[in-house]
Structure 1
Amino acid sequence: MDWTDRVLDLEVGPIAHGGHCVARFGDGHGRVVFVRHALPGERVRAVVTEDAGGAFCRADAIAVLRPAPTRVEAPCPWARAGGCGGCDLQHATPAAQRALKADVVREQLRRLAGIDREVEVEELPGGALGWRQRVRLAVDDEGRAGLRAHRSHEVLPIADCLLAPAGTLPPLLAHRFTPGSEVEVAVDADGVVHTDSDDTAGTAGRTVQRAAGREWMLSPGTFWQVHPALADTLATVVGKWADAPRGGTAWDLYGGVGLFAAVLAGQVGRDGVVTVVESSRRAVEDGRAALADLSQVDWRVGRVERVLSGLTGRPDVVVADPPRKGLGASLVDALCARAPERVVHVACDPAALARDVALFAERGYRLAELRAFDAFPMTHHMECVALLTRT
């Protein structure tokens, strides 16, 4: 069975994790079709873009036969069938995008953790366009920078990206770069545009970023949140829920440059200890420089899985901001064995978060609080923060 390039008329069902909606084609239950650029309740005509011959295939909506009330015209011409892989939801109002993302979080918690919970995805300041302060561009065989097509290595010759601050990308897109390379563009807290590529190796300057009342000078390529309001937002929520005691012990796992460590250090004071575990040596060097005045911060360079076994004592609170795959069973086991009173889990993938919440529940921790933020408008991505407390 291979339906590639076949055109289907579909009644579109609910949003699914990953930016597409679920439809079925055929009698009875039919075959599952994951449709991009559609909205729940719509009737669309879609072309099948991928079909491995299994229980499902992938398609792009190419015509809307019955639009949803929340459908709008996408502001970017590349947010369409066969277009850029970055934006999944430009065809919905910003409020509708947040509602769809809330549906995804709610469904992942129900399906993977057995938790029925109302979820709100909160809007961040700044609007739905012009927020992305870091963009990674791909370079084609002719040296032109652009963005990749959805699930493809093809580089699209864009003139601009509306998610980036206005005026940031057009001057760079006029340049030629090393074919096959990548270009990272970052706008810092002072509005200065920094470019890091094979052609600027060793010459890209440090970027200045500010959050939680402090300032960081970051080396090229060091991670910082792409939405300008997210770092401060996360620092505030993490600080409130961590509530580390004076003189206590806090662990900041996958701690990066120490955004959360700065907040935790203020809570434990000079007599407490905040241990940061981070695998990127460059991030740790930048973090040490930024938090040089906080002697209670102890930096450990290495993978969390390896460093954790060498940490002694019982932490009062653990803050974890793992990669997209989440913590997983072995790390959850290791953390619960130390019996912290609270775990603050920061997650960019709602499915991974739900799986981790289920693992913590099996080990005696309940989901006490949850907040979700629309940190990536126009896309299916979001950022969640969960508080898990020992029962």
Structure 2
Amino acid sequence: MPEPAAPEKSHSGPVSESPAGGRPDTSASTGVAPGRIGGVATRVASALIGSPAGEPGRGGRLVGPPSADAYAGGWRSRVRLVVDADGRAGVHGYRSTEVITDLRCPQPMAGAMDGIAERTWTPGADLVVAVDGDGMRHLVEVAPAGDERGGQRERRDRGGRAEGSARGGDRRSTAARRAAAHSARTERVVDGTGRAVQYVAERRWELSATGFWQPHYGAAQCYSDVVAEWADAAPGALVWDLYCGVGVFAARLAGQVGVTGFVHGVEFARTAVAEGRAALRDMPWVDLTAERVERWIHEQSGAAPDVVVLDPPRAGAGKDVINALSEHSPRRIVHIGCDPASFARDVGLYRSAGYHPVALRVFDAFPGTHHVECIAAFER
């Protein structure tokens, strides 16, 4: 069976786990499996040539955790499924609108998929499965969005494919599915409370089960640890956390700068900002703002940040954000990239702006799949 769709990272709304098999938001905290690191490194090597990559201040080397063997199965705490025309839950085939209703897969955590295949669901709906930090499963049915074309819902055949579409899909149908995933849709809680509780560094978050959280159960803690180590923000410093989500990184940064410092977090999704503010209400020196990152950066005219952390969606940060960011001349930038291609492009943009990578770690974001996560630190 094809792997369950990797949720595409998007801080602009509910978790968008691309049914056509994109990468998500995820993952794993465990290092790159043997044999895969070379391929990943090759994709970013051209952007890194001439710049050492290793631990800050420890010489140039590509650093990765030792092994992902223990995380090959039962690691996925977030799954998004689709429902075909007959009410059966499944996943889209790779780059296809066909719904495959065989749900056997080793990735989800134990019990996450129990009872789903045996039930009939609303045709065209999505199902979001989330196992939270307390071990509670939340199962939410998200009402059909309906691709609107010419005022009428797109017709689908018995297999769930758009009638007249090629098996491999097309760019228009993929764009329509992604747009629909971000539109406002009615949610029905089937199991659990619909409010997932998560923990990172002994801090508690409560967020919508359909909101974004790293799918690998260990990822948020792992990435948070790396970001905190590499940011190394000084007490009293000003720090920016861009594409901050619910503020997982902002919390760690706030602990470093203390009450004499300040952390600005910027996130487009208003729901995520509200949930982050609730979780960080004991840290008044953290301010989370609901705004587009590129617009917010251009509006800043005050003191320059000492450290900037950014975790953009799969498309990466891009030229406008990186150029605007470089004009503020932060001492260090920590960038989390969830797609090697856009990450390599962003590395090149940093180099053009005078920043060079001083540290790089590659994580096996989705064990058993081709998806990886890259974290790099840059300095001038």
TM-score, structure 1 length as denominator?
0.73
Counterpart CA distance in 2 for 1:87 and 1:235 is 23
Task: Give secondary structure in 2 for the equivalent of 1:326.
Answer: coil
- Out of 320, 326, 330, the residue aligned to residue 320 of structure 2 is 330
Aligned to 1:246: 235
Higher mean alpha-carbon deviation, 107-116 vs 365-374, is at 107-116
One-letter identity of the residue aligned with 1:201? E
Check 1:141–1:121 CA distance in 2 against 1; reply closer, same or farther (3 A cut).
farther
Aligned to 2:252: 263
Query: Are residues 1:364 and 2:354 paired?
Result: yes
Check 1:251–1:175 CA distance in 2 against 1; reply closer, same or farther (3 A cut).
same
Aligned to 2:41: 106
Counterpart CA distance in 1 for 2:305 and 2:111 is 47
Check 1:276–1:142 CA distance in 2 against 1; reply closer, same or farther (3 A cut).
same
Counterpart CA distance in 2 for 1:292 and 1:367 is 34
Higher strand residue share:
1
TM-score, structure 2 length as denominator?
0.75
Task: Report deviation, 1:381.
Answer: 0.6
Task: Report deviation, 1:86.
Answer: 5.4
- Whether contact under 8 Å (2:112, 2:130) holds in the other structure is no
Aligned to 2:90: 146
Deviations 1:339-363 (CA, angstroms, capped at 9, x unpaired):
0000000111112111111111112
Deviations 1:217-262 (CA, angstroms, capped at 9, x unpaired):
1123221111111111111110011011111100000000000000
- Whether contact under 8 Å (1:113, 1:355) holds in the other structure is no
Rg larger for: 1
- Whether contact under 8 Å (1:159, 1:170) holds in the other structure is no
Task: Report deviation, 1:110.
Answer: 2.3
Check 1:195–1:278 CA distance in 2 against 1; reply closer, same or farther (3 A cut).
same
Check 1:306–1:125 CA distance in 2 against 1; reply closer, same or farther (3 A cut).
farther
Check 1:125–1:187 CA distance in 2 against 1; reply closer, same or farther (3 A cut).
farther
Runs ≥4 in structure 1, deviation > 6 angstroms?
none
Query: Are residues 1:377 and 2:367 paired?
Result: yes
Counterpart CA distance in 2 for 1:313 and 1:331 is 18
Deviations 1:131-189 (CA, angstroms, capped at 9, x unpaired):
01000001100010011111111111114321001232131221111111111100001
Task: Give secondary structure in 2 for the equivalent of 1:368.
Answer: strand
Task: Report deviation, 1:202.
Answer: 5.2
Task: Report deviation, 1:313.
Answer: 1.9
Check 1:113–1:355 CA distance in 2 against 1; reply closer, same or farther (3 A cut).
farther
Check 1:235–1:269 CA distance in 2 against 1; reply closer, same or farther (3 A cut).
same
Task: Report deviation, 1:207.
Answer: 0.4
- Whether contact under 8 Å (2:31, 2:362) holds in the other structure is no
- Whether contact under 8 Å (1:261, 1:276) holds in the other structure is yes
- Whether contact under 8 Å (1:109, 1:115) holds in the other structure is no
Number of corresponding residues: 304
Aligned to 1:54: none
Task: Give secondary structure in 2 for the equivalent of 1:98.
Answer: coil
Counterpart CA distance in 1 for 2:379 and 2:47 is 19
Aligned to 2:141: 197
Higher mean alpha-carbon deviation, 347-356 vs 125-134, is at 125-134
Check 1:161–1:232 CA distance in 2 against 1; reply closer, same or farther (3 A cut).
same
Query: Are residues 1:273 and 2:262 paired?
Result: yes
Task: Report deviation, 1:295.
Answer: 0.5
Percent sequence identity is 43
- Give RMSD over aligned pairs: 2.4
- Out of 224, 240, 253, the residue aligned to residue 213 of structure 2 is 224
Counterpart CA distance in 2 for 1:85 and 1:377 is 18
Instruction: Structure 1 unaligned segments of length 5 or more: list them.
Output: 1-76, 89-94
Instruction: Structure 2 unaligned segments of length 5 or more: list them.
Output: 4-18, 24-29, 54-60, 144-185
* Bigger relative contact order, structure 1 or 2 (CA pairs below 8 A, ≥6 apart): 2
Counterpart CA distance in 1 for 2:32 and 2:100 is 25
